Structure 1
Amino acid sequence: MNPGGEYSRDSRYITTRITRDGSDGFPVEPGRYRLVVSRACPWASRAVIVRRLLGLEKALPMAVAGPTHDERSWSFDLDPGGRDPVLGIERLQEAYVARDPGYDRGVTVPVIVDVPSGKAVTNDFARITIDMSLEWAAHHREGAPALYPPALRPEMDAINEVVYKDVNNGVYRAGFAGSQESYAAAYERLFARLDRLSERLKVSRYLVGDTITEADVRLFTTLVRFDAVYHNHFKCNRQKLSEMPVLWAYARDLFQTPGFGDTVDFDHIKQHYYVVHRDINPAGIVPAGPDLSNWLEPHGRAALGGRPFGDGTPPGPVPPEEEVPAAHGPRTG
C-alpha cells in the first residue's frame, strides 16, 4: 500500500526459467518438475488452463494446494496427512526456503518446483505460461493449439499489458484500496477497460485473432471470478459480469470450451477470498451464492466465426485425479 492508499502488488518474483537449452540451469525434462497451484488463485489458474490445453499433464505433474492459507504459506491440506505426496512437504514455504534460506518475499502460486532438490524454480506467473507454449513445445499433445503464435505476439503483448494493469490487477486495486480516492480511481479504470473490451469483443469471438490464445486465458481467469467474488467482496459493483452482455457471452463461450470450465473450482475460489481476507470480511462468512447454472446457458458466440483450437483439437477428458468435484460448480461436457 502506498501513502495515498493505492494497492501495489509485490512483483519481486523468482525469474529463473526452465528452458530447452537449460540456460538458467533448469532444462526442460518431463517428470522432473512439479507445478504447484491453487484452484482459488487466478494467476495459478492461468497455468492450470494452459497446461491442460497443451496436454502437459504427464510432462509437468501438478500439485493442488488447499484454497486457504495463513500468513506463512499455502499448505497441502487436501492431501492425505496434509503433505504433498511427491515433494513430501506440508507447506509451500518449504520449497521457497530450500531455494533461498533467507527468502523474504511472497510465497505465491503458481510455482514450479524442482522435485530432486525440492527447490522452487520460478513463480514468475506471466512467464510460466508463455514458456509452457514455447519451451515445452516438444512435449505438447498432438493437436495442441498455438496459444502464443509469432504473428500475433506484438498485439497480444499489448492487450495482455492493459488487461493486467486495468482488469487482472485492477480488481485487486479496488478491493484492497486504502482510501476512497484510490478505490474510485481503480473502479473507474476497471470498468472503462471492461467497456473497451466489450466493444472489441462485439465483433470478434476472441481477443486476438480467430482462435483461443494466451490473451483469452488471462482475461478469463478474472471474468470467471467476477460475480462470485469481485463484484461483492472487492466492491467492483457497477455491474455483475452477467449484466454485461458481450463479456458474459464471451466468458460462457470459454467456460464451455474444454480446458477452461473443467478446471474451475468455484468452491475453492469463494473459500479463499472470503476466508483469507479477514481485513475485508472479518467474520469469514462465505456466501452461499451465486447460482452457477447460468454458466452453461447458450452463448451464441459461434456466429462470430473463429475456431477455438485453430487447426488443432480440443484436449481429451480431464485425468480422473485432476477432476474438480461436481459439487464445486457446473460441469461441462
Structure 2
Amino acid sequence: MAQGSYVEKSYERDTRYINDRITADGSGQWPVEPGRYRLVVSRACPWASRLVITRRLLGLEDAISMGVCGPTHDADSWTFDLDPGGLDPVLKIPRIKDAYEKREPGYPRGITVPAIVEVSSGKVVTNDFAPMELDLITQWRDFQRTGAPDLYPEALRHDMDPLMRRIYTEVNNGVYRCGFAGTQEAYDDAYQRLFTALDWLTDHLRTRRYLMGEHITVADIRLFTTLVRFDPVYHGHFKANRSKLSEMDVLWAYARDLFWTPGFGDTVNFTHIKQHYYRVHRDINPTGVVPGGPDLANWAAPHGREALGGSPFGNGSAPGPIAPGERVAAADNPFSGPDGLLVYPGRS
C-alpha cells in the first residue's frame, strides 16, 4: 500500500516509487521473461488487489508467481506471516523490506506493496503500481492466456486515461484523504470531493454497464477495489459516511455485477481487508478492535445490470480455475467454494 501521512491541512500520499519498467522489447534493464519475477501483494491493499485481479484475468499465473503478505504490518515492513515458518517460499525472506534493501541498502522511502521482485537477485524491480498494472496488460501479451480480455484498448485510451485519473484522485485516494485529514477543513473538502465524484460516477454508470461501455477494462478494476472496501472500512473507519455503498443503488449494483464476474470477487479477502485497516491504523482506531460487520449476505442480491447489455470479457472468455495456493478461504469470503471460485447462494 502506498504511504502517506498527516500534514497541516490535508493528507498527502508519498508517491516516490521505484519506477523501473519491465518491457517486451528488452529496451531496459528488465525484459519480459516468464519465471524471472515474483509479484508480492497483500489482499488487504487496494493498490495490490488491482494487480491480483489483472494478473488473474490475463492468466499470467504461470509467467509471474505471486507471494502474499499478511494483512497487517508494523512501521518497518509487510511480512510473510501467512507462509510456513514466516518465509516467502520462493524469495526465502520474512519481510518484503529485505527485497527493498537488496535493491538499495538503507532504502529511504516507504516499504510498499504491490512490488515486483527479481527472483534470482532478490531485488525489487518496481513498486509503481499504476505502470505495473498497465505493463501486465501491454508488455506481457505473449504470455497471456487464450481468451484474455483487452483491458486497455488503444481505441479507448484517450477517454480512459482522464477517467482513471479522476477515479484515482477523487475516489481511490479520496477515501484516504477523508480518513487521514488532519483538520476539519481538510476533511470537509475531502468528503465533498469524494461524494461529488461518486455522484458523477453514478450518473455515468446509470446507462452503461461498465465504465467504458460494454466490456470491462482496467478502469473497472481500479474503481472496484475501492468500492468493495467501502462498507467494510471506508464508510466508518475513514468517515466516508454520507451513504454506504449499499445505499447508492447504481454503484452498488455495478459493484455486485463485478464481484460476481470471475477474477473479481474470487480474489477478495474481507477478513484481511478489515484486519489491516482497523489494526494497523492505530492513529484512527487506537484500540485495534476489528468490527464484526457488515453482514456480507447482501452481495448476493441480484444486480440486474445484464439489462444494460454488454458482456464482461468482450470477444474473450472468463479466467479458469484458481491455483490451490491462491484461493481465498470461505472463512474470509463467504461465497468462496472449495476450489476458490465463487458460489452463488442456492447454487451448487
Shorter-chain TM-score tier: over 0.9
Q: Which residue of 2 aligns with 1:226?
A: 230
Question: Greater shift after overlay, 252-261 or 22-31?
Answer: 22-31
**Equivalent of residue 323 in structure 1, options 324, 327, 332:** 327
Distance 1:264 1:106 in 2: 24
Show structure 1 runs of 4+ deviating over 3 A: 1-4
In the alignment, the residues of structure 1 paired with residue 28 and residue 87 of structure 2 have an alpha-carbon distance, to the nearest angstrom, of: 29
Matched, 1:202 2:206: yes
Matches within 5 A, 1:113-128: 113-128=117-132
Task: Tell me, yes or no, if structure 1 residue 160 matches structure 2 residue 171.
Answer: no
Contact kept? 2:69, 2:82, Cα under 8 Å = yes
- What CA deviation, in whole Å up to 9, does each residue of 1:83-130 have, x standing for no partner? 101101001000001001131111111000000000000000001110
Matched, 1:236 2:240: yes
CA distance in 2, matches of 1:22, 1:292: 45
Match of 1:94 in 2: 98
**Amino acid in the other structure paired with 1:241:** L
Q: What is the distance in 1 between the residues matched to 2:114 and 2:237? A: 23
Letter in 1 for 2:279: V
Q: d(CA) in 2 for partners of 1:329 and 1:312? A: 27
How far is 1:2 from its partner? Answer: 6.8
Is 1:130–2:134 an aligned residue pair? yes
- Partner-residue secondary structure (3-state), 1:120: strand
Q: Which residue of 1 aligns with 2:60?
A: 56
* 1:1-39 deviation line (CA, Å, top 9, x unaligned): 575420000000100011112222011111110000000
**Aligned residue type for 1:293:** A
- Give the deviation of 1:203 after TM superposition: 0.3
- Superposed, 1:1-333 pairs within 5 Å as 1=5, 4-331=8-335, 332-333=342-343
The CA distance in 2 between the partners of 1:42 and 1:161, in whole Å, is: 16
The whole-number CA distance in structure 2 between the counterparts of 1:288 and 1:73 is: 27
CA distance in 2, matches of 1:121, 1:295: 37
Secondary structure of 2:182's match?
coil
Equivalent residues of 1:33, 1:61 under 8 A apart: yes
Counterpart of 1:210 in structure 2: which amino acid?
E
Task: Measure the CA separation in 1 of the matches of 2:156 and 2:106.
Answer: 40
* C-alpha distance 39-212 of structure 1, shift in aligned 2 (>3 A): same
AA aligned to 2:94 is: E
**Alpha-carbon separation, structure 2, partners of 1:20 and 1:143:** 20
Structure 1 residue 330 displacement after superposition: 2.8
C-alpha distance in structure 2 between counterparts of 1:298 and 1:180, whole Å: 39
SS of the aligned residue for 1:35 comes to strand
User: Using the alignment, how far apart are the partners of 2:90 and 2:122 within structure 1?
Assistant: 10
Aligned residues of 2:232 and 2:293 also touching (Cα < 8 A): yes
Structure 1 residue 146, shift from structure 2 partner: 0.3
AA partner of residue 265 (structure 1): N
Question: What is the identity, as a one-letter code, of the residue corresponding to 1:6?
Answer: S
Q: Which amino acid aligns with 1:156?
A: M
SS in 2 for 1:190: helix
Matched residues in 1 for 2:248 and 2:296: separation? 16
State how far apart, in whole Å, the 1-side matches of 2:69 and 2:62 are. Answer: 19
RMSD in angstroms over aligned alpha carbons? 0.8
Please give the TM-score of this superposition, normalised by the length of structure 1: 0.99
Letter in structure 2 aligned against 1:236: A
Aligned residues of 1:28 and 1:135 also touching (Cα < 8 A) = yes
Between the aligned partners of 1:294 and 1:3, the Cα distance in structure 2 is: 37
Look up the SS of the partner of 1:275 in the other structure: helix
What amino acid sits opposite 2:180 in the alignment? F
Paired amino acid for 1:267: T
Residue matched to 2:338 = none
Cα displacement (A) at 1:209: 2.7
**Aligned sequence identity (%):** 66
